[in-house]
Structures are given as structure tokens and as C-alpha cells.
Amino acid sequence: MIKIHPELVYPTRQVTMGSILFSITADMAKSSKLVAAKRGKVLLVRRRSDGLWMFPGGRKRARESDKDCLRREIKEELPKLKLGRISLWKEVTARNKRSGRKMSDAIFIAKGAKGRLAIGDKHEIDRAVWQKPRGIRLTPTSRYIRDRLFPRKRG
């Protein structure tokens, strides 16, 4: 017999097997983000809604892997960009200290991203640039990523 301790289960999805009902914790991130860098600059896109800059990516769909989510989002946002090989850098689950909002992101690194930065989804984003990661208004999640991957040089 299976004994379930409610305090140890974080129900996100329920699966029925015969007459037994299990609650499964979703281990995968809710969003995927891309960090592509070349010549000291990173790829950033600007949200149309508030003008904040962010690393490209977006929310996962049902039954979509983190990597598939990223590839789909990049194809939608920047259809001319070719990613090449991507690898998972880190899965981030944290709470934004300012807003209290939870982050749940799979962060991928692309080596050798190339192609024209043509905007595909003009309702969501209005610009894409290769930009130095400092001195620009970033979303909280993108600030978190930037601060860990590109820490300030002290001197």
C-alpha cells in the first residue's frame, strides 16, 4: 500500500493508474530562455508591452520539453535566427525579491547563433539586438541570468 504524506506532495498534475490517484510534481521548468553571446554582446529582445529587454524565450506548452519550447519560441520570435547547438546551463526556480513572482526557467546557452534578427511575433516583441548586458532595462528574470553569467567586474 502506498502512503502519501500531503505535506511532501506539491500537486501540479494528477495521473490515474487503475484505481490509484497519484500527484506528480512537475520537475521541468515553466519557461525556457536563450543566452546567446558573441564578441562581448548578448542577444536581447524588447517586450512591446512595457519596453523591458529580456533574453528570448517563452512559456512551455503541455507535453513540450524545455529544449523543444526554446526552439519553438525562437522560431516564432526570431524566425531567421539559426541556433546551432544549444545546451542547458541551469534550471532556475526562485522568487523575485521585488515583485514576489516565482521564476521557473530552463536557461540554455547557444554557441554559434547566427542569422538576421528579423522579428516574427510583432505583437509580443518589437526589437532584437546584440547588446552589452549592462546599462539596459531588463526584466527581473533576465537580470537574474545576466548577474550570474556576466557578473560585474570589480576593480
Q: Does residue 2 form part of some domain?
A: no
Domain count, the chain: 1
Q: Does residue 95 form part of some domain?
A: yes
For 94, other C-beta atoms within 10 Å of its C-beta total 13
Q: Which residue bears the cell 529580456?
A: 54
Q: Does residue 5 form part of some domain?
A: no
Backbone angles phi, psi at 97, to 5 degrees: -65, -30
Q: Tell me, what CATH number does 86's domain have?
A: 3.90.79.10
Q: Does residue 20 form part of some domain?
A: no
Q: Which residue bears the cell 522579428?
A: 119
Q: Does residue 138 form part of some domain?
A: yes
pLDDT in single tens digits along all 155 residues of the chain: 444 333 333 333 333 333 333 333 334 568 899 999 988 899 999 999 999 999 999 999 999 999 999 999 999 999 999 998 999 998 888 887 767 778 789 999 998 899 999 999 899 999 999 999 999 999 988 998 999 888 887 76
Rg (CA), the chain: 18
What domain range includes position 36?
A: 28-149
